[in-house]
Amino acid sequence: MTRMLDRFYPTTLALLRIATGVMFWQHGAQKLFGLLGSNPREFLTLLWFAGVFEFAGGILIVAGLFTRPVAFILAGEMAVAYFTSHFPREFWWPIQNAGEFAVLYCFIYLFLFTAGPGRWSLDGLLRRKSASDEAVPLNP
């Protein structure tokens, strides 16, 4: 059974990456532009910078471009968000301090950092192009 399901791993990894990036992009759009039922955050505040990371990072994650370093940075952003904004409200339990999204995003991005982008990514396309360029023998 496991062997049969293993063939779906690259596709489900890509779908997880794309869905997470789209949702994360929306958080950035709220903070930066006041879209999707929110007000924009004040320019150059901590929440405005979070919006920049979320907006740009979400787009890069969807595209699968620089997936590993972007995912690492976004995991860090979510850890900082949890411990600076949510953790002080209620000790430990994310469900009580409204930090469950920050925790989930943090761990999803840690997973993407270790697993890579999966299928349908610009990282994969660039890697394949680079590998094919290297495989072409040069004639002096």
- Point out the residues of the chain with pLDDT beneath 70: 130-140
Cα–Cα distance for residue pair 135/122, rounded to 1 Å: 20
Q: Which tokens hold the place of 68?
A: 């590993």
The backbone region for 120, taken as left when phi is positive above 0, alpha when psi lies in -120 to 50, beta otherwise, is: left
pLDDT, tens digit, 9 for 90 and up, residues 115-127? 999 888 999 888 8
Residue 133, domain member (yes or no): no
Q: Domain of 78? A: 12-121
What's the predicted TM-score (pTM) here?
0.86
Residue 84, domain member (yes or no): yes
Cα–Cα distance for residue pair 43/41, rounded to 1 Å: 6
Residue 40, domain member (yes or no): yes
Q: Are 76 and 113 in contact (CB under 8 A)?
A: no
Residue 63, domain member (yes or no): yes
- Among 62, 61, 99, 64, residue whose Cα is nearest residue 80: 99
